[in-house]
């Protein structure tokens, strides 16, 4: 049950489900449409958190029978996020779907949940991306939650992404550290972090993954010394499954890279982000996403919980 | 205004051949490229050998300083050695703080070029270096015929956040532009969402004159800029053209993420630029 594409995720979620999902602020039509279809496909049964009156009105409009689901009437965004997290902690639901609420409320609740467990500092965003040119899904993490990830934080970010991929059926996902080592010998923090991470890996501190040689796409795709010649000659299967961002800016821009040239070299790219490290997965569609896109987010939530 | 790579090559060909000093090639990549560039009417290569690498580099730099050649090409020399040779005081070609690299990409659907910088040289530039990088980029845009380039000083969000230093620096650059301390129009901080779409910027309540029409994407550090350029190139399969700025004589580098076609474009750009900086 290896998930190598979003299409496969959609297909397999129906066999794995139904799971229960906390929907944090469900009072939105596109989200309810997605939940209706996800329920019909056997992915997930929602617990709907938000403005109860509005949720019931919208559900009726789209003929979504929600009588068998719990509806929790909470208007305050922070309280809704907290409630959604509590439900997963108490075992009533399996994962979180961020609905019509600003990200930081949910991240705060997840960080609190993580800190209660005592040993973790990092909640990170794993951006799963499908590029037309690649034969498989890749992940970029952290996609922009941890402000200045140091060695320790990066170790947690790797562990959490590897854990996610193991849920997706990867026995030993390949991890690639990214840094701008380019033969100029400047003392980059990203490079020294990478050296420490490799030492830790060699001592067995990062079980369940394969840390790839190299620090850049050129290293991974062309080998340590190679120069780009023709794109047709590149073996794209050599790209690692998981790319570890050297810093906040890279993570943030890399996961939205298609914005730069959406109509030219990045048409057809697909992306879904899963928040990990809070002890539970949270899928976070963006507000402008259509219900079809949100259904895939729900499928990924099912598969990662 | 130059809007695509074909126009870059045409304009350089109009300028005629340039004499290019290069350490005698050791690789097939470099020797093939030199042959191609010569065949394309862009250059007359001047191969320099004899002695060890530092001696060869010192000689080609002296040739450029004396006006015996028009351009320099890194060829098979190591990046560090080559840049060191360029920036030693006696070379008189460049100061290491003034150097920056630009990568250009074609957007065929919009019939224009975009630039991102600094993709190769400065690592974690301080404010002064950021200003230099921007000035270099704005000067370069002028060579392409873009009079008032629209620049996005990127960070991770469109608001100033004291925990994210790149957002604070971007705000300072934008203020400097507003006060005409920088040419062109620099706005920041912008996240990539707002920078690349006027619609998304408006949705976030941002009236920005650069959103959706950015000529220069300024990224705050090398880990972001070099590595993002790699994504554009390798995962977008987009060919870059590159330019080293901040040198008294146009210089062509040989980065790993550029194909020999990119090197041809780099050489054409250097050739166009050599007209601008002739005494």
Question: Is the four-CA dihedral B218, A181, B34, B66 of positive or negative sign?
Answer: positive
Average pLDDT over residues A171-194: 92
User: To 10 degrees, what angle do helices A103-116 and A77-89 make?
Assistant: 40
Nearest to B156 among A183, A190, A252 (CB): A252
β-pairing verdict for A270-276 and A282-283: antiparallel
Q: How many residues does chain A have?
A: 305
The predicted pLDDT at position B277 comes to 66
Nearest to B223 among A250, A252, A262 (CB): A250
Nearest to A183 among B78, B236, B258 (CB): B78
> A257, B259: Cβ pair inside 8 Å?
no
Interface of A with B in 52-91 (CB under 8 A): none
Question: Is the four-CA dihedral B156, A7, A95, A160 of positive or negative sign?
Answer: negative
Q: State the Cα–Cα distance between residues A23 and A2, nearest whole angstrom.
A: 27
Is residue A24 within 8 A of residue A46, CB to CB? The reply is no
pLDDT at B279 over 50: no
The structure tokens listed for B74 are 């890194």
Q: Kindly report the average pLDDT of chain A as a whole number.
A: 94
pLDDT at A225 over 90: no
> A188, B196: Cβ pair inside 8 Å?
no
Q: State the Cα–Cα distance between residues A213 and B175, nearest whole angstrom.
A: 43
Is residue B252 within 8 A of residue B270, CB to CB? The reply is yes
Give contacts of A134 with chain B, Cβ < 8 Å.
235
- Per-residue pLDDT tens for A31-67? 999 999 999 999 999 999 999 999 999 999 999 999 9
Report which DSSP code applies to A42: T
Report which DSSP code applies to A258: G
The closest alpha carbon to B200, from A252, A297, A259, belongs to A259
Report which DSSP code applies to A275: E
Give the Cβ contact number of residue B6 at 10 Å. Answer: 11
The backbone region for A277, taken as left when phi is positive above 0, alpha when psi lies in -120 to 50, beta otherwise, is: left
> B224, A188: Cβ pair inside 8 Å?
no
Q: Which residue of A has its CA nearest to B82?
A: A184
Q: For the domain A121-276, what is the CATH code?
A: 3.40.718.10
Please determine whether the domains at A1-119+278-305 and A121-276 fall in the same fold group of CATH: no
Q: What is the DSSP string of B160-176?
A: --TT-HHHHHHHHHHHH
Query: Based on the number of CB atoms within 10 Å of its own CB, is B28 exposed (0-12), middle (13-18) or buried (19 or more)?
Result: exposed
Does the CB of B211 have a partner CB in chain A at under 8 Å? Answer: no
Does the CB of B160 have a partner CB in chain A at under 8 Å? Answer: no
**Taking the CA atoms of chain A, what radius of gyration do you get in angstroms?**
20
Q: What is the DSSP string of A44-86?
A: EEEEEEE-HHHHHHHHHHTT---TTS-EEE--SHHHHHHHHHH
Of A48-62, A182-196, B25-39, B181-195, minimum mean pLDDT range: A182-196
The predicted pLDDT at position B204 comes to 86
The structure tokens listed for A234 are 């590149």
Does the CB of B179 have a partner CB in chain A at under 8 Å? Answer: no
- Per-residue pLDDT tens for A242-263? 999 999 999 999 999 988 888 8
Q: Which residues 6+ apart lie within 8 Å of A8 measured at CB?
A: A2
- Per-residue pLDDT tens for A198-223? 999 999 999 999 999 999 999 999 99
Q: State the Cα–Cα distance between residues B165 and B157, nearest whole angstrom.
A: 12
- Per-residue pLDDT tens for B236-272? 999 999 999 999 999 999 999 999 999 999 999 999 9
Question: Is the four-CA dihedral A143, A144, A150, A155 of positive or negative sign?
Answer: negative
- Percentage of the residues of chain B whose pLDDT score is greater than 90: 90
Cis peptide before B189 (omega within 30 of 0): yes
> B121, A184: Cβ pair inside 8 Å?
yes
Element (H, E) at A140: strand A138-141
- Per-residue pLDDT tens for B7-39? 999 999 998 999 999 999 999 999 999 999 999
The closest alpha carbon to B57, from B88, B27, B36, belongs to B88
Q: How many residues does chain B have?
A: 279
The structure tokens listed for A252 are 């943030």
pLDDT at A185 over 80: no
| Residue of B100, B113, B197, B234 best to disrupt the A interface, most CBs of A under 10 A | B234
β-pairing verdict for A71-73 and A270-276: unpaired
Average pLDDT over residues A270-278: 94
pLDDT at A184 over 90: no
The structure tokens listed for A18 are 């139904």
Nearest to B79 among A183, A218, A248 (CB): A183
Q: Kindly report the average pLDDT of chain B as a whole number.
A: 94
Measure A217 CA to nearest chain B CA, in Å. Answer: 6
Nearest to A261 among B193, B220, B236 (CB): B236
Does the CB of A165 have a partner CB in chain B at under 8 Å? Answer: no
- Percentage of the residues of chain A whose pLDDT score is greater than 70: 99
User: Phi and psi of B242, rounded to 5°?
Assistant: -130, 155
pLDDT at B278 over 80: no
Measure B279 CA to nearest chain A CA, in Å. Answer: 31
Locate the domains of chain A by residue range: 1-119+278-305, 121-276
Q: State the Cα–Cα distance between residues A232 and A221, nearest whole angstrom.
A: 12
> B227, A264: Cβ pair inside 8 Å?
no
> B224, A247: Cβ pair inside 8 Å?
yes
The predicted pLDDT at position A263 comes to 85
> B222, A249: Cβ pair inside 8 Å?
no
Average pLDDT over residues A140-147: 92
The predicted pLDDT at position A149 comes to 93
> A184, B123: Cβ pair inside 8 Å?
yes
The closest alpha carbon to A84, from A108, A60, A68, A64, belongs to A108
The predicted pLDDT at position A119 comes to 64
| A1-119+278-305 CATH fold | Rossmann fold (3.40.50)
Nearest to B196 among A178, A230, A260 (CB): A260
Element (H, E) at B86: helix B79-87
């Amino acid at each position: 049950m290896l998930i190598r594409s979003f299409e496969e995720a959609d297909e397999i979620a129906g066999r794995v489900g139904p799971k229960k999902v906390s929907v944090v602020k469900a009072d939105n039509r596109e989200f309810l449409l997605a939940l209706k279809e996800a329920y019909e496909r056997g992915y997930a049964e929602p617990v709907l958190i938000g403005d109860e009156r509005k949720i019931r009105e919208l559900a009726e409009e789209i003929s979504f029978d929600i009588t068998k689901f719990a509806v929790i009437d909470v208007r305050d965004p922070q309280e809704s996020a907290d409630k959604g997290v509590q439900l997963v902690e108490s075992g009533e639901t399996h994962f979180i779907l961020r609905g019509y609420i600003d990200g930081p409320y949910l991240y705060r609740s997840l960080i609190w949940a993580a800190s209660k467990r005592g040993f973790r500092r990092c909640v990170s965003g794993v951006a799963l991306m499908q590029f037309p040119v690649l034969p498989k899904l890749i992940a970029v993490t952290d996609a922009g939650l941890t402000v200045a990830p140091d060695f320790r934080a990066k170790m947690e970010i790797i562990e959490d992404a590897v854990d996610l991929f193991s849920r997706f059926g990867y026995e030993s996902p390949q991890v690639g550290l990214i840094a701008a080592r380019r033969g100029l010998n400047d003392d980059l923090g990203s490079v020294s972090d990478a050296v420490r991470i490799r030492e830790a890996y060699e001592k067995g501190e990062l079980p369940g993954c394969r840390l790839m040689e190299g620090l850049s796409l050129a290293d991974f795709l062309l080998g340590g010394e190679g120069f780009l010649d023709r794109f047709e000659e590149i073996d794209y299967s050599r790209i690692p499954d998981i790319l570890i961002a050297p810093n906040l800016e890279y993570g943030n821009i890399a996961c939205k890279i298609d914005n730069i040239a959406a109509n030219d070299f990045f048409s057809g790219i697909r992306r879904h982000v899963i928040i990990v490290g809070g002890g539970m997965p949270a899928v976070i569609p963006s507000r402008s996403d259509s219900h079809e896109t949100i259904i895939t987010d729900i499928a990924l939530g099912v598969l990662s919980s | 205004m130059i809007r695509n790579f074909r126009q870059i090559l045409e304009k350089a060909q109009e300028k005629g051949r340039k004499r290019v000093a290069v350490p005698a090639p050791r690789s097939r990549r470099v020797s093939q490229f030199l042959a191609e560039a010569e065949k394309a009417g862009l250059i007359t290569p001047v191969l320099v050998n004899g002695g060890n690498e530092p001696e060869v580099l010192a000689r080609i730099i002296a040739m450029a300083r004396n006006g015996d050649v028009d351009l320099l090409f890194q060829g098979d020399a190591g990046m560090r050695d080559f840049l060191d040779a360029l920036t030693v005081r006696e070379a008189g070609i460049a100061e290491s703080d003034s150097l920056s690299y630009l990568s250009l990409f074609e957007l065929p659907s919009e019939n224009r070029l975009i630039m991102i910088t600094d993709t190769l040289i400065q690592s974690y530039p301080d404010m002064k270096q950021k200003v230099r990088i921007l000035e270099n980029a704005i000067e370069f845009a002028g060579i392409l015929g873009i009079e008032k380039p629209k620049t996005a000083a990127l960070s991770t969000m469109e608001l100033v956040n004291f925990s994210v230093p790149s957002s604070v620096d971007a705000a300072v650059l934008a203020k400097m532009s507003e006060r005409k301390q920088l040419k062109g129009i620099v706005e920041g901080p912008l996240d990539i969402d707002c920078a690349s779409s006027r619609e998304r910027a408006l949705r976030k309540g941002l009236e920005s004159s650069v959103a959706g029409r950015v000529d220069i994407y300024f990224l705050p550090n090398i880990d972001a800029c070099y590595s993002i350029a790699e994504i554009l190139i390798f995962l977008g399969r987009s060919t870059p053209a590159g330019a080293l700025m901040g040198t008294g004589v146009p210089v062509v580098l040989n980065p790993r993420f550029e194909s020999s076609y990119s090197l041809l474009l780099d050489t054409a750009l250097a050739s166009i630029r050599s007209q601008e900086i002739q005494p």
